[in-house]
Amino acid sequence: MSLFKARDWWSAALGEGEEFDLGCLCVGDVDNSGTGHDKVVVGSYMGMLRIFTPLANKTSEGSPADAQLLEVQLHNAIIQVEVGKFVSCSDLLHLAVLHPRKLSVYSVSGTAGNVEHGDQYQLKLVYEHNLQRTACNMTYGTFGGVTGHHSLCIQSMDGMLMFFEQDSYSFGRFLPGFLLPGPLAYNSRTDSFLTVSSARQLESYKYETLAVATEAESRQDSDVPLKTGGKRLTPDWAIVLGEQALDLSVPSFSHSSASIFVLGERNLYCLRDNGQIRFMKKMEFNPSCFLPYTSVTDGTTNLLLGNHTNMLLVYQDVTLKWAAQLPFVPVVVRVANFQELKGIVVSLSSDGHLLCSYMGTDPSFFSTPKVDAREADYEQVDAEMKKLQKFIREATRTQDILPKTDAEEDMFVTTTVSSSMDSPSQALIHDIEGLRVPSVTVQVKVKANCVLQSSKLTIGVQPPLAVTQSQFVLEPMSVGASTVVAFSAFLNGRYPPADLSGDITVSYSSPTGVPRVLQSRFSLPLALVCVPSSPAKNTKFKITVDTNQPPVDLSSIYREFSAKSEDKDGNSLAFQFLSGAKVTMTASKTSQRYRIQSDTFGDMWLVVKELVQRFDQHFSKLGVKDFKKSFSGPLPLQEYFLSVDHHFQLRVSAQQYQDLLSERAVQFRAIQRRLLTRFKDKTPAPLQNLDTLLDSTYSQVIALAEAAEENRALLDEAFVHLRSATHLLVLLLSLWQGLTPDQTAILEATLLPLLQDTPQLGWEESCDAAVSHLLRTCLSRSPKDQATSLAQMGGPVLGLPHDTARLKKHITLLCDRIGKGGRLTLASDANVQVPAQIQNLAAPGGVEPIAEVPGDGDEMELPQEATKFIKKKQPSKKVKKEKEKKDASREPSEASVKEEAGDAGEPIKEVKKEKKESSKEKKESKKDSSKEAKEPKKESSSSSSSKEKSSKEKKEKDKDKEGKEASKESGDKKVSKKTSVKVKEKKKEPEAAEG
């Protein structure tokens, strides 16, 4: 038996097909027995009235019928039942029954039986009131401060409050702004009535205010003046809840915790008598009913709260104290005292399940038998401890984020790519530069291992690739059933893709209702994006791949291209991409080398990747196990940086287009406001060419928007080229240093952290942050630097950098450290212990950054088509010459500082030596700064002379910028402000370096 389950003390099923709701249950000594024991009164919407006195089911022969005192079929539906002193000439308790068009008050009396049938109970009608309006609910209390008797207040469906004092009708009042009825309660402490209106606010009306208000013969409009005497009815106070209320309760068992409780659809409110909120509890479930009851702690109130998940929750104010499971959803809950047990929870469901329960558990008299004591086997315990420690080490070493998949999947996905192109082609673009665009058919077979009701299959490919249909809704499948879907993939852009692989995602729900996702990958053929062509001899970019096996005939591994190739020797092959770029692959006849060359650096990626994959497949079929491939030439970083600069230039252009669009839009709206003001004037005034200015501004906005769209398309294309170039660089690095697949994956995730650019986060800043992390951790120079980086907390906010100098420096440093034997790993971060002297550097500003070259801060230029929208002066020839001299002088200074940094590789023991090394790192990172801290005495003369030269050029450049700023103040205020900010930032950089 679960501890958190309501214990069934007594239960009964009330009729068949009857309905019950809030108000159909009340408890009290309705028969005035004088014992203080409560009876349970239940009324249904079918007009059946029942009274019970529950007894514990001590024997199996007992039935709920033994506890039933009375069952009467009334003619009308029972909306609500209440027990109170409703008869003026009697202090006994009577039963008030509310029907849709009638209010009846009954007396329940019992006579002791002289035979075995037991006591007999009778229901007698004392008085009744026929209602002129359909009733919704009612409340009772000592209205007006009268003691000893209870009056009744009924709320009608059209918003009228009808007051009854015992057997006479007092008056009626319409609630202002009424639309739909809400819960109604009476507060005896303030002699006021509480209700929640359709405006979703709790309103309080004084009984005195209701009594002196306008007589409610008909509904009055709030905007129409009063025709008769009396005051307009207004609430004493109101508070907005923001949601519809399910129930109201005003407990009066303690004056120290006098509160008003409102149960909303998602929140529980507790208010003071003046409308101030004491507390509010936001619930994560849908409540169904509640009941405040007395608490043992002074100043607090306990609540019973039922919800639609069959739970009965006990709260002390906002603290959950207990939770019990019920067999149904309660619609009303009460607390009653019976003959054998006090504090029983009485709950009723909407279909007539009446339950008397208590929470907790019965004491258990079972005692666990003693186990014979035995000596511990220490060798076995030690072996088990070692085994567990081994499991812990393996679990911490893998650091898996996603959980391991189950051994048996619910379904299998098999993908088959056709070996031949479609005829006819399904491509949206029929030809590119005279070349026909082909398409290939892909078939996906889904086989179910269990019953699947509904599943959805989604296909994703990298742009500019596209598919004929990207989503499929699969029919329900039984065990062992399979479904096959087919689609065609093709090139949908005028540039080659960066990846020929695609993803298939199947989302479905398991038989237990758990949502799951299954993923699969497929690769498209190279012939989809290129055709064979004649080899080219003179190209810009060349890459050479070495192997340890004899040369292979290229026509044997590229059979689909060799048939149409013009070269019959088999040692050269050319691929003409549909976008226009040509890639030539040549095999050496004497050596084991293969050269790939093209006029576009990024376009060689797909060919090199295909070559490496086909070599692996070819030699694995021949049974060669020691096949190795390598790259010996220098890394083409400068060629790679051309793609980086092109992408960054387009990003800067996009940002400047955005700024210009914002300015022109502000100007356009300002002109519109001026024109509207002129048109609204009663005396027409001349437009002063505002209409011409509006047309011109509109033309500029349209032209800028079109240019921004064109720039966005170019940016997407540039990012695909950048991805191709990055993939190629990663492949060459892995061939150069023989990286493992795990290390290659880390390097690829570092250099390609994003699959697409966004205006908020771009590739440059993301890649720079990832590369910086590797340089600070696994590729750091010493364990001290690694521990220092691990002690650093937080980091800068990623944003568009000023230029790509820092990123290029970091990528070059990354390749250099990998070439010197750096090990790429993610598990080393957790194995480095932070020394004691490093822990003091964990404070903000205590850790040195990576050596970097800050940019000059000059804004990059826009393409030619955008220059006509930007009114900005270009730098003079003198400034450009000084800039070139500065770049030339920067190179020897970099070399000298690098030599010093290399000589200072000895272990550091004293604090002074640490400071010297940190200052050297600053000098390495701030080479173009003129106000650096002084270098050590052993600095070479060549480095000092270059430093003086660069500082002089820096001062001249600052003066030139200041003069430019002064000349721009009269012409364009915005440009002058930006220039002054840049000058200030450049002045602050040397100060930060000194600090």
Query: Could you report the per-residue pLDDT of 854-910, keeping only the tens digit for each?
Result: 444 444 444 444 444 444 444 444 444 555 554 544 444 444 434 433 443 343 334
For residues 718-730, give the mean pLDDT. Answer: 90
Strand order in the sheet with 201-206: 184-187, 192-196, 201-206, 237-240
* Helices then strands, each counted (H, E), the chain: 16, 44
User: What residues form DSSP beta bridges with 251?
Assistant: none
Percent of the chain clearing pLDDT 70 (strictly above): 74
How do 302-307 and 439-448 pair as beta strands? unpaired
Residue 340 lies in a domain: yes
Q: Final residue of a domain: which of 584, 607, 631?
A: 631
What is the b/e burial string over 144-173, where b = at least 16 CB atoms within 10 angstroms of the residue's CB? eeeeebbbbbbbbeebbbbbbbbeeebebb
Task: Please check whether residues 503 and 555 belong to one and the same domain.
Answer: no
Instruction: Report the pLDDT value the prediction gives residue 264, as an integer from 0 to 100.
Output: 93
pLDDT of residue 834 exceeding 50, the answer is no
- Residues 972-988: pLDDT tens digits? 434 334 444 343 444 44
Which three-class secondary structure state does DSSP give residue 84? strand
The share of the chain scoring above pLDDT 90, in percent, equals 25
The verdict on residue 102 lying in a domain is yes
The answer to whether residue 324 is domain-embedded is yes
Between 44 and 534, residue with greater pLDDT:
44
Both tokens of 93, joined, read: 């308790």
Is-cis flag, bond preceding 225, omega within 30? no
Residue 979 lies in a domain: no
Distance (Å, whole) CA 35 – CA 33: 6
Question: Does residue 884 form part of some domain?
Answer: no
DSSP letters for 659-717: HHHHHHHHHHHHHHHHHHHHHH-SS----TTHHHHHHHHHHHHHHHHHHHHHHHHHHHH
Q: How confident is the model at residue 665 (pLDDT cuts 50, 70, 90)?
A: very high
* C-alpha torsion angle, residues 207, 209, 214, 217 (rounded to 10): -20
Most confident region among 92-106, 384-398, 416-430, 885-899 by mean pLDDT: 92-106
Q: By three-state DSSP, how is residue 23 classified?
A: coil
The answer, yes or no, to whether residue 59 has pLDDT greater than 80, is no
Q: What is the CATH number of the domain that holds 318?
A: 2.130.10.10
Residue type, 243: E
Q: CB-based burial of residue 42 (10 Å sphere; 0-12 exposed, 13-18 middle, 19+ buried)? A: buried
Token pair listed for 807: 């990123």
Dihedral of alpha carbons 933, 934, 936, 941, sign: positive
Q: At what angle do helices 941-969 and 877-903 cross, to 10 degrees?
A: 150
- Which of 289-293, 505-509, 644-648, 875-879 is predicted with the least confidence, judged by mean pLDDT? 875-879
Read off the pLDDT of residues 241-270 as tens digits, 9 standing for 90 and up: 989 999 999 988 766 567 899 999 999 999
Categorize the per-residue pLDDT at 774 as very low, low, confident or very high, splitting at 50, 70 and 90: confident
**Side chain identity, residue 507:** S
pLDDT at 791: 47
pTM for this model (two decimals)? 0.48
What lies within 8 Å, CB to CB, of 910 at 6+ separation is none
The more confidently predicted of residues 828 and 441 is: 441
What is the distance between the alpha carbons of residues 108 and 93, in angstroms, rounded to a whole number?
9
Angstrom distance (rounded) from CA 921 to CA 847: 11
26 beta partners: 41
CATH code at position 545 = 3.30.310
Cα 938 from Cα 603, distance rounded (Å): 49
- Alpha carbon of residue 817 to chain centroid: 38
Q: Are residues 22 and 33 in the same domain?
A: yes
pLDDT of residue 306: 93
Structure tokens at 572: 């050269």
Rounded to whole angstroms, how far apart are CA atoms 723 and 603? 10
Ramachandran class of 3: left when φ > 0, alpha when ψ lies in -120 to 50, beta otherwise: alpha
Both 581 and 711 in a single domain?
no
Lookup: tokens for 864: 């030619």
Give the model's confidence band at 620: pLDDT under 50 very low, under 70 low, under 90 confident, else very high.
confident
Mean pLDDT across 111-126: 74
The two three-digit tokens of residue 412, written as one number: 């299998």
Residue 963 has pLDDT above 50, yes or no: no
Instruction: Collapse the DSSP code of 271 into the 3-class scheme (helix H, G, I; strand E, B; otherwise coil) and give the result.
Output: strand
Find residue 575's DSSP bridge partners.
532, 583
- Least confident interval from 62-71, 818-827, 850-859: 850-859
Across the chain, what does the average pLDDT equal? 77
Count the Cβ atoms, other than its own, within 10 Å of residue 689.
9
Q: For residue 876, give the 3-state DSSP assignment.
A: coil
pLDDT tens by residue, 366-410? 556 666 556 778 888 999 999 999 988 887 765 555 555 554 677
* Model confidence at 945: pLDDT above 50: no
Question: β-strand 277-282 against 455-461: which pairing, if any?
Answer: unpaired
- Asked if 162 and 297 sit in the same domain, the reply is yes
Contacts with 898 (C-beta within 8 Å, 6 or more apart), sequence order: 924
- Give the separation between CA 797 and CA 835, rounded to whole angstroms: 28
Give residue 468's pLDDT band: very low, low, confident or very high (50, 70, 90). Answer: very high
User: Residues 621, 642: one domain?
Assistant: no
Provide the pLDDT for residue 239: 92
Rounded alpha-carbon distances, angstroms, from residue 984 to 352, 796, 980, 994: 79, 20, 6, 16
Residue 975 within any structural domain of the chain: no
Q: What is the DSSP string of 520-585?
A: EEEE--GGGTEEEE---S--SEEEEEEESS----HHHH-HHHHTT-S--SSSEEEEEETTS-EEEE
Q: By C-alpha distance, which of 72, 78, 86, 79 is closest to 32?
A: 86
- Whether residue 522 sits in one domain with residue 533: no
| CA distance linking residue 483 with residue 480, whole number of Å | 10
Ramachandran region of residue 442, left (φ > 0), alpha (ψ -120 to 50) or beta? beta
Least confident of 583-592, 695-704, 707-716, 937-946: 937-946
Per-residue model confidence (pLDDT) at position 230: 53
State the pairing for strand pair 267-271/260-264.
Answer: antiparallel
In a domain, 981, yes or no: no
pLDDT in tens, 168-200: 898 899 998 888 899 999 998 889 999 999 889
Angle CA(650)–CA(652)–CA(653) in degrees, nearest 5?
60
Answer yes or no: do 661 and 627 share one domain: no
- Both 69 and 198 in one domain: the answer is yes
Q: How many residues does the chain have?
A: 995
- What local confidence, expressed as pLDDT, does residue 245 receive? 92
Place 738 in a pLDDT band, splitting at 50, 70 and 90. confident
Q: How many CB atoms lie within 10 A of CB 603?
A: 25
Give the span between the Cα atoms of 239 and 222, in whole angstroms. 20
Look up tokens 């009876």; give the residue.
39
SS3 at position 282? strand
Which of 612, 631, 650 is where one domain is finished? Answer: 631
Q: Which of 119-133, 639-653, 786-800 is least confident?
A: 786-800
Q: How confident is the model at residue 129 (pLDDT cuts 50, 70, 90)?
A: very high
Specify if 892 maps to a domain.
no
> What is the tens place of the pLDDT at every residue in 143-160?
888 888 899 999 999 989
pLDDT at 936: 39
Do 410 and 510 form a contact (C-beta atoms < 8 A)? Answer: yes
- Both 515 and 546 in one domain: the answer is no
Question: How many domains would you assign to the chain?
Answer: 4
Q: Are residues 612 and 568 in the same domain?
A: yes
Compute the distance between CA of residue 567 and CA of residue 578 in angstroms, rounded to an integer: 20
Residue 551, pLDDT score: 79
Give the domain extent around 616: 529-631
Among residues 569, 602, 631, which one ends one of the domains? Answer: 631
**Confidence at 15, pLDDT banded by 50, 70, 90:** confident
Whether the Cβ atoms of residue 252 and residue 274 lie closer than 8 Å to each other: no
Angle at 669 between CA 666 and CA 672, to 5 degrees: 150
pLDDT score, position 366: 56
Closest C-alpha among 740, 741, 801 to residue 771: 801
Distance CA 458, CA 507 (A): 8
Kindly report the CATH number assigned to the domain that includes residue 511: 2.60.40.1510
Concatenate the DSSP letters of all residues of 229-248 into one string: SSBPP--SEEEE-SS-EEEE
Let me know: does 557 contact 614? Beta carbons within 8 Å: yes
Residues 602 and 657 both lie in one domain: no
State pLDDT tens for residues 313-370.
999 888 998 889 899 999 999 999 887 788 889 999 999 899 998 887 665 555 566 6
- Looking at the structure, do residues 78 and 200 belong to the same domain, yes or no? yes
d(CA 406, CA 518): 12
Which letter does DSSP use for residue 295 in this model?
Answer: -
